[in-house]
Amino acid sequence: MRKRELDYSLKVRLPITVALVAISFALTYFVSRAERDGVGYTPSQPIAYSHKLHAGDLNIDCQYCHTGADKSRHAMVPPTETCMSCHKTIKIDSPEIQKLKEYYDSDTPIPWQRVHKIPDYAYFDHSVHINKGLDCTDCHAEVKNMELVEQAHAFTMTNCLDCHRTAHDKFPGLDLKAKGTEDCITCHR
């Protein structure tokens, strides 16, 4: 009796348990991968600003607002002043623009929620990528179709290296002398 129970535990229960744990871990690992990498992250913003309207329908260039992209490591969320340069006269009755004006008049920064972030231990410079001829969409995807900006690609080391190692194949149109650097110190310094 006792022996049979032990036998049963070892031969049936244990394997089933181990298999269940392994399967659920593997499933969770792969299913939650995107979530863990931040793909699909779409935080709500303090002002209902539509990239689809501005960048898509109105076809305003990304760098009209994100002026740092070709100059500096930070592409920069534009100063409120940039919004106001048009919205002093355009759609001033809209409640969202009223909100904007309030921030502007009270000299308060707008608490935009950060969508894309790389870890503190990694360094990234927008200007190098833009000046080499990469397009914003290569990392940020089609923002001009997004009402609310969401993260479309994972910002992981794998993804960085994926392009850096195969720059010539990935971007055949660009006049690249060398492929992207793989030196650690490029990002970790």
C-alpha torsion sign, points 166, 153, 181, 65: positive
**Tokens encoding 94:** 């809209």
Looking at residue 69, the DSSP 8-state letter turns out to be T
- Structural contact between residues 46 and 111, judged by C-beta atoms closer than 8 angstroms: yes
One-letter identity of residue 73? R
**Tokens encoding 16:** 């089933």
Sole binder of another protein in the list 17, 108, 137, 166 (CB under 8 A)? 108
Nearest-angstrom CA–CA distance, 54 and 60: 6
Q: Fill in the per-residue mask, 20 to 39: x = in contact with another protein (CB under 8 A), - = not in contact.
A: ---------------x--x-
| Residue 65 beta carbon to another protein: minimum distance, rounded to whole angstroms | 10
Residue span binding another protein (CB under 8 A) among the ranges 4-12, 48-56, 119-127, 136-144: 119-127
- Structural contact between residues 69 and 75, judged by C-beta atoms closer than 8 angstroms: yes
Sole binder of another protein in the list 7, 57, 125, 135 (CB under 8 A)? 125
Q: Is 124 in the site for another protein (CB under 8 A)?
A: no
| Residue 150 beta carbon to another protein: minimum distance, rounded to whole angstroms | 11
Residue closer to another protein (CB basis): 93 or 107: 107
Sole binder of another protein in the list 28, 131, 159, 166 (CB under 8 A)? 131
Among positions 43-102, residues that touch another protein (CB under 8 A) are: 43, 68, 70-74, 76-81
Q: Is 156 in the site for another protein (CB under 8 A)?
A: no
With CA atoms as reference, report the closest residue to 77 among 109, 107, 99, 106. 109
Residue span binding another protein (CB under 8 A) among the ranges 9-17, 141-149, 163-171, 178-186: 178-186
Nearest-angstrom CA–CA distance, 44 and 115: 10
Residue closer to another protein (CB basis): 63 or 127: 127
**Tokens encoding 146:** 């997004």
Nearest-angstrom CA–CA distance, 35 and 97: 33
Task: Name the site residues for another protein (rule: CB under 8 A).
Answer: 35, 38, 41, 43, 68, 70-74, 76-81, 103-104, 107-117, 121, 123, 125, 127-128, 131-132, 178, 181-186, 188-189
